[in-house]
Amino acid sequence: MKILILGAGKMGSFFCDLLSFQHEVAVYDPDARKLRFMFNCQRFSSLDEVDEFKPDLVINAATVKYTIEAFNAVLPHIPENTILSDISSVKTGLKDYYEKCGHPYVSTHPMFGPTFASLSNLSNENAIIISEGDHLGKVFFRDLYNRLHLHIEEYTFAEHDLTIAYSLSIPFASTLVFASNMKHQDAPGTTFKRHLAIANGLMSEDDFLLSEILFNPHTSEQLQNISNKLAELKDIVDSRDSEQMKKFLDNARANLK
């Protein structure tokens, strides 16, 4: 299969390394400097070079802010039957876009990233495949993710957004609250250092990505849940109610099972 990857960032490089020994792969990035370390693939810094390549599949690994813009730029340079795909963690607007673009499509979300995951060992990681879309495209990514030993779930676009509001918005918001109350510690404890490492990793992400994940229409409900629990915990602490604290801790442990 001829595969064109849009974007030579960390995930674009990852997919290139993953696919280039079994498929004919090309990577396009308008910044030629980012292509210097791309291996075993064709490297395009001009969309005119895509014309002769004629990909069977396009994997859009551009920054989430530019996902649709990258698709629009490449559409005039690919055949009508080319399958479009994205790996975006934010699917806002993509369903409508795909339904109007005239191309077969498949949308997936590898639930890991270069910040925290070890890309050489993903056996404990997950991936989501959106149920709407091209059958052959879904088969391709299911086979690919199975080879990585990922756990795979299939959701609709709507179910994906609801899941992400829970699985990303809650830890993102909690970490942002921690970072917002940060004070330098000369002798931090182990738990503090672990939270600090997570916070530093999160804050290394693109601001637009963080904003879009938190702007998920389902995030507000999750933030309200956090606010309610914080208020409950504060009341228990203020009243020094040992019995209620025990119930609170027991409930927290039960939720982790």
**pLDDT tens per residue, range 31-73:** 999 999 899 999 999 999 999 999 999 999 998 889 999 999 9
Structure tokens at 51: 């014309």
**pLDDT tens per residue, range 239-253:** 999 999 999 999 999
Instruction: Please tell me the distance from the alpha carbon of residue 89 to that of residue 127, in angstroms, as a whole number.
Output: 11
Residue 230 has pLDDT above 90, yes or no: yes
Cα–Cα distances (Å) from 159 to 129, 131, 226, in that order, read 11, 10, 21
Scanning 20-93, the segments in alpha helix (DSSP H) are 50-53, 67-74
pTM > 0.95 = no
Mean per-residue pLDDT for 180-188?
Answer: 88
Closest CA to 61 of 107, 119, 128: 107
Instruction: Please tell me the distance from the alpha carbon of residue 174 to that of residue 214, in angstroms, as a whole number.
Output: 12
